[in-house]
Amino acid sequence: MLSFVDQLGNTVSLPQPPQRIISLVPSQTELLFHLGLADRVVGVTKFCIHPGEQVKLKPKVGGTKNFHLEAIHQLKPDLIIGNKEENYREGIEQLQQHYPVWLSDIYTLQDAFEMMVSLGQVTGTEPRAKDLVSRLQQQFSTLQPAAPPISTAYFIWRKPYMAVGNHNFIDHLLHLCGFRNVFGHLPRYPEVSPEQLREAAPRLLLLSSEPYPFQEKHIAEFQALCPEAKIRVVDGELFSWYGSRLVHSVSYLQQLIQEVGAAEK
């Protein structure tokens, strides 16, 4: 019997390396494909969109917050991979009654790196996982943050406005970029009123492409609230996906830092 401990401290026991894996988290689904496990992934969520052509062919088991349990049962998984924040407790607990469930808990890059290596161990792809982590560590070591830091608000939702607060992966990346989160004193993903935004007076507003699909047409709405701020629509995947998509993040973040830093001068 193989035994592993997930990022919540749960012991996950497997009789053999998993051959039928269901992933309930988009960024971790993409990671599994990166690790060469395409043939062993038998089910994903409807939000698992990368890698595009390959993941389209996989059976869908609902969303990240509403699993289709019957569909999961029909696929007979021998391992399910989820995440504390992105999935819902009730559904995970139901699945744990039937299957080994490995859960991640991601707040920092280090958490993401540990998740990658751990899933490599669980799936028998540890060398490839360690190669990915080594590559990412090297890339992020070259990231040059904005100096001095730029006061920033990062929005993930509209009607009501919701921003990024503290204790989450996006806040961590903002800090690494030298973007001082003006709502970093608030819990996780706070609802923010127009008055709070005006009072916070960030120099930079970042409007994420997900989960709310902010577009250029929304810039004027925020510009009216913060006339002096620089506003950018940003690729939410490159700020929030903590799997292999991170290989694209550093070059993107560095370019953004340079653009908004130049605008500050």
CB contact at 8 A, 162 and 185:
no
Q: What is the dihedral of CA 84, 86, 92, 96, to 10 degrees?
A: -60
Distance CA 189, CA 171 (A): 10
Render pLDDT for 150-205 as a digit per residue (tens, 0 to 9): 999 999 999 999 999 999 999 999 999 999 999 999 999 999 999 999 999 999 99
Three-state DSSP state, 225:
helix
Residue of 41, 42, 101, 34 lying closest to 71 (CA atoms): 42
Q: What is the pLDDT of residue 263?
A: 62
Helix, strand, coil percentages (3-state) for the chain, rounded to 5, are: 40, 20, 40
pLDDT reading at 257 higher than 70: yes
Q: Do domains 2-139 and 150-264 have the same CATH topology?
A: yes
Mean pLDDT of the chain: 96
Every domain of the chain and the residues it spans: 2-139, 150-264
Q: What angle do CA 49, 50, 51 make, to 5 degrees?
A: 130
Render pLDDT for 22-76 as a digit per residue (tens, 0 to 9): 999 999 999 999 999 999 999 999 999 999 889 999 999 999 999 999 999 999 9
Q: What is the pLDDT of residue 265?
A: 58
Sign of the four-CA dihedral 3, 168, 190, 258: negative
Classify domain 2-139 at the CATH class level: alpha beta
Q: Residue 12 is encoded by which pair of tokens?
A: 């996950």
Q: What is the pLDDT of residue 261?
A: 79
Classify domain 150-264 at the CATH class level: alpha beta
